[in-house]
Structure 1
Amino acid sequence: MKKLLYVMAGFAILLMVFYTYIGGFTEPEVTMATSQAMYVAGAPFEGSVEDEAMGQLFQRAAKVLDQKELEGMLGNIYYNDPDKSGDSIRAFIGIIIPDSSVVLPSGYTLRTVPGGRRVVRAEVNASVAMSPRKLYAAVFDYAEEEKLKLEEFYVEWFPADDQGVLEVPVKQ
């Protein structure tokens, strides 16, 4: 019985170390900012967040970066909140690129995110798996505390494997 207790304690410690490593205890930094114009190369998606096709678009974006078809960072635009729309999402999944004049891979189109907008911006140092949940919760909590109304337009990007950024425009 004592041995089982030690094994369980060791397992719990390993889980805590792993959770810390992927940024589980890291809190996002939330600020008001002015957005910069961005170019997103990718593909549209509309459907359930559980749809396999959405996962394939994320995998394709990672592959495009890995094979150096485009230079940039993983980035996505979401046009609605799936929590408010019954698991249905409208998105544009792809890569934030520095220049709009690049040749796009087959099947990709270009969308421009306008700059100069007042946004709530959240940044966190956590894995790509942990970042979105932390970022969205932080932005929504901040908006509620500050009594801000947000647009349903979310731009997220991942400058590094362990960093995520989210910007949501404030309704004027």
Structure 2
Amino acid sequence: MKKLLYVMAGFAILLLVFYTYLGGFTDPEVTIATSKPMYVAGQPFEGSVEDEALGNAFQRAAQLLEQNELQGTLGNIYYNNPDNSGDSIRAFIGIIIPDSTVKLPQGYTLRKVPGGRKVVHAEVNARVAMAPGKLYEAVFDYAKEQNLQLEEYYVEWFPADDEGVLEVPVKQ
């Protein structure tokens, strides 16, 4: 019986260490900011969050960065909140690039994220697997506390393996 308790305690410690490594205990910093213009090279997606094509779009973006076909940061634009619309999502999955003159890989198009808008800006030090959930929750909580109405336009990017950023425009 004691052996089982030691094994369970060891397993619990390993889970806590892994959760800490992912950034599970870090809280996002949320502020009001003015957005900067960005260019996103990517591919549109519309469908279920369970659709294999969505995962393929994320994998392709990561592969293009890994193979140096594009220089930039993983980044996405979401045009709806799947929590409010079943499991359907409208998105543009890709890479935030430094300027619009970059030669795009086959199947990729360019979208510009406008600058100069008032946004709720959130940053967190957490792995890519953990960051989105933390960021969205923090932004929605902040908007509720500050009595802000948000647009259905979410721009997220991941400057490093352990950092995530989300900006959501405030309705004017």
The answer to whether the superposition gives a TM-score over 0.5 is: yes
Rounded to whole Å, the distance in 2 between the matches of 1:50 and 1:60 is 17
Gaps of 5+ in 2: none
* Pairwise CA distance, 1:86: 1.1
Which residue of structure 2 lines up, in the alignment, with residue 91 of structure 1? 91
Residue-by-residue CA offset, 1:13-41 (whole Å, 9 max, x unaligned): 11101101110000000000000000000
Amino acid at match of 1:96: I
Rounded to whole Å, the distance in 1 between the matches of 2:17 and 2:41 is 36
Gaps of 5+ in 1: none
Instruction: Establish whether residue 140 from structure 1 lines up as the match of residue 136 from structure 2.
Output: no
Rounded to whole Å, the distance in 1 between the matches of 2:86 and 2:126 is 28
Rounded to whole Å, the distance in 2 between the matches of 1:76 and 1:8 is 39
Residue-by-residue CA offset, 1:50-80 (whole Å, 9 max, x unaligned): 1000000000000000010000000000000
Rounded to whole Å, the distance in 1 between the matches of 2:16 and 2:86 is 33
Seq. identity, %: 80
TM-score (norm 1): 0.99
* Pairwise CA distance, 1:99: 1.0
Rounded to whole Å, the distance in 2 between the matches of 1:19 and 1:129 is 11
In the alignment of these two chains, the number of paired residues is: 172
Which residue of structure 2 lines up, in the alignment, with residue 124 of structure 1? 124
Which residue of structure 2 lines up, in the alignment, with residue 45 of structure 1? 45
Amino acid at match of 1:121: H
Amino acid at match of 2:129: A
The ranges of structure 1 where at least 4 consecutive aligned residues each deviate by more than 6 angstroms after the TM superposition are none
Residue-by-residue CA offset, 1:80-131 (whole Å, 9 max, x unaligned): 0011111111000000000110100000000000000000000000000000
Amino acid at match of 1:129: A
Rounded to whole Å, the distance in 2 between the matches of 1:141 and 1:13 is 30
Secondary structure of the equivalent of 1:77? strand
